[in-house]
Structure 1
């Protein structure tokens, strides 16, 4: 090529735009540490002015995510700093109002010293009421995104998700009494108080849904027959007796390994997602704020997602550098751990009502449940690629399973043939 030709092409190349930034995997490690995993935190930015933003799941696993939508064009970030800023925006808490109609306080007439903080969306027509019970250390907002997904599939359904004693905004005369019988009575008292305060003309059919410790509680309520014929069915999420008892041996190590506090609510959300404790960033942004309180005297729950309480359950200190502390001291629940799970499999199989067990892996099944499943005593569903908080990691799939489970057990759709003397 002649010298004239080389000069011509050099001049043309100089006018071309700069090369795009390198892919995320090629960024320096120090910058990567500032970002969240793309799998859990997609680049959609939460907009407080978008009332309908929560209708579109924010996790990549959903077919409805913006990344998989053919009608949405996402421009690549123009710089690494902008990419980091956009991701940090996705750590902002999401208010409970995006998933529930009301935040109510239930005070049973038989226990006036108790006040159960609950998140509620009423039923319509003759729809069922899904009553949820969270696991140890969690709160009623653990079911927030799941509640919205249930309502998408079954608009007539209602959801009542309350904080257990010693959790969230619930206050009782003894917030350190975590005996299984006490927690079961609390669930019954919360439902009874809802009936009284919300003035239900006819109590709706109830489907109990419990995660982890909550699974043991709803099973105990079903076994004891506390709700009578109003209990239509119950579902247990990722807890069985055998694996739960084995996991108790490593609980102390887990508690010692997690942070004692956080500099901000956003940092708490980030830790839950980056550690894959909760693998769905959308759910973490609404559920995590209720797990923390500001020991320096700030607003409970970060202001964006109120836990509905008057103050912290426990105070573990931590200084000014980490003012956001855990609301529930899980270490104080240790004396009750075995009481929660001993005999769980037997009670689950023997209690009356439809039964659904959703697990994150078949390895969690113990011998008694394997035999029961082979005998067709309950419905089993295994969700792959989720963690222990499966209802937060995969709310769409969990909601579809629960709605189908309700429809299979719905008595109102059952038409019995007339008796001989009625013909």
Structure 2
């Protein structure tokens, strides 16, 4: 080291000595901030000397917060919190208990419709609707057995966040929610339910005075997956159908699960003392893993029966009565799913749900597959954000409005152009 370098380094270290002396007098060799009695934070810097010839380098702990500092040329610095401060404590004013108040459907949808059926005067379909904007798509949903159209409420808002032009049509199927249909005899056959869904789409078009159907994406959960697949296979929507997505149902696992369905129903509470009790049971039992989703969808599953003892809130749909239709819902589902026209996507909570036919189809690239192992059976309610991302991406891959097709030869000849 040259004499010049030694003199320069010595001068820099001497300039820093008052700072070290001040820190030593305070009884600390590291510059941590302390909270005074008034609640303010004292900022100080810690220095490290890396070698005999190095400058004293101020080092700042990593933190997102910053404030003005006279020791920085840019006038920005770091507030160093006291170790005693509870950085991850709940902010004051937020209750620690989980809120179980119901969330109204108006939080998520633009309107609700009650659609009478001219051909069937005893049937009126109830549905929730947010209209598409411009040429945006219409996501048409169908819930599972025992659920309602509000099963897709939280998901609908997540879809709109990512695709503001999208519309969502979420009906209650017959025997569920607020849809009015004969209960004696009860008809929940697959043909009837897929015809109902088609009627809801057409009646909504007429009620909203749409000149034509917007591009349609069908989304069905469990039983609803079988319904949207059947409607897609029948081809009733023609060119308006872009694709369909099935949530957590495949033929093989569904048929296996039917054997234990009665056992599950026997373990469910027959009723609840209040709506909050019903919401709480769904969350505690892990039937739904999101309290927001439970607060939104569970109220539509229950109805108040006056004078019914300590548990007046009873299930709106008697799932035990639907048993004669269970097998018919799912037989042949895998084959129809692979053969129907349009884009196809399957969202599952685990790969163990794939049967042989779908496994082969997936390996052949016949449909898109997404697996969310952290979700339960109600994927769209447990993980609405991830489900929305998957559905919006699925729509964009199948959106034909972005395609620019070359002109037809006949059109070029009519214009007198050479081909």
Category of TM-score, reference length = shorter chain: 0.7 to 0.9
For 1:213-256, what per-residue CA distance to the aligned partner results, in whole angstroms no more than 9, with x for missing partners?
Answer: 00000000011112122111100000000000000010000000
1:261 Cα deviation from its structure 2 partner = 0.3
Q: Which has the larger radius of gyration?
A: 2
SS of 1:107's partner is: strand
Is structure 2 residue 225 aligned with structure 1 residue 215? yes
> Structure 1: how far apart are the matches of 2:401 and 2:91?
50
Instruction: State the match for 1:198 in structure 2.
Output: 208
Is structure 2 residue 115 aligned with structure 1 residue 106? yes
> Structure 2: how far apart are the matches of 1:250 and 1:138?
19
For 1:349-378, what per-residue CA distance to the aligned partner results, in whole angstroms no more than 9, with x for missing partners?
Answer: 000000000000000000000000011110
For 1:11-62, what per-residue CA distance to the aligned partner results, in whole angstroms no more than 9, with x for missing partners?
Answer: xxxxx9xxxxxxxxxxxxxxxxxxxxxxxxxxxxxxxxxxxxxxxxxxxxxx
SS of 1:130's partner is: strand
1:206 Cα deviation from its structure 2 partner = 0.5
Task: Work out whether residues 108 and 192 of structure 1, in 8 Å CA contact, stay in contact via their aligned partners in 2.
Answer: no
1:72 Cα deviation from its structure 2 partner = 10
How many residues align? The count is 326
Which ranges in structure 1 are unaligned for 5 or more consecutive residues? 1-15, 17-70, 298-318
Instruction: State the match for 1:375 in structure 2.
Output: 364
Q: Provide TM-score, normalisation by structure 2.
A: 0.75
Instruction: State the match for 2:317 in structure 1.
Output: 328
- Aligned pairs (5 A) from 1:197-276: 197-276=207-286
Instruction: State the match for 1:366 in structure 2.
Output: 355
Instruction: State the match for 2:376 in structure 1.
Output: 387
Is structure 2 residue 112 aligned with structure 1 residue 123? no
> Structure 2: how far apart are the matches of 1:107 and 1:295?
26
Match for residue 296 of structure 1 among 268, 287, 306:
306
SS of 1:288's partner is: helix
For 1:114-149, what per-residue CA distance to the aligned partner results, in whole angstroms no more than 9, with x for missing partners?
Answer: 111111000101000000000000000000000000
Q: 1:95 to 1:77 in 2, by over 3 A?
A: closer
Which ranges in structure 2 are unaligned for 5 or more consecutive residues? 1-36, 38-86
> Structure 2: how far apart are the matches of 1:92 and 1:418?
58
Flag the structure with more relative contact order, 1 or 2, with Cα contacts below 8 A and sequence separation at least 6. 1
Is structure 2 residue 91 aligned with structure 1 residue 75? yes
What's the RMSD between the two structures over aligned residues?
Answer: 1.9
1:76 Cα deviation from its structure 2 partner = 6.6
> Structure 1: how far apart are the matches of 2:348 and 2:325?
23
Is structure 2 residue 404 aligned with structure 1 residue 415? yes
1:286 Cα deviation from its structure 2 partner = 0.6
Using the TM superposition, name which of 373-382 and 174-183 deviates more.
Answer: 174-183
Match for residue 143 of structure 1 among 143, 152, 167:
152
Match for residue 165 of structure 1 among 142, 161, 174:
174
Q: 1:208 to 1:419 in 2, by over 3 A?
A: same
1:73 Cα deviation from its structure 2 partner = 7.5
> Structure 1: how far apart are the matches of 2:393 and 2:242?
13
Q: Provide TM-score, normalisation by structure 1.
A: 0.75
* Divergent runs of 4+, >4 A: none
Task: Work out whether residues 150 and 403 of structure 1, in 8 Å CA contact, stay in contact via their aligned partners in 2.
Answer: yes
For 1:290-346, what per-residue CA distance to the aligned partner results, in whole angstroms no more than 9, with x for missing partners?
Answer: 00000017xxxxxxxxxxxxxxxxxxxxx3200000000000000110000000000
Task: Work out whether residues 273 and 281 of structure 1, in 8 Å CA contact, stay in contact via their aligned partners in 2.
Answer: yes
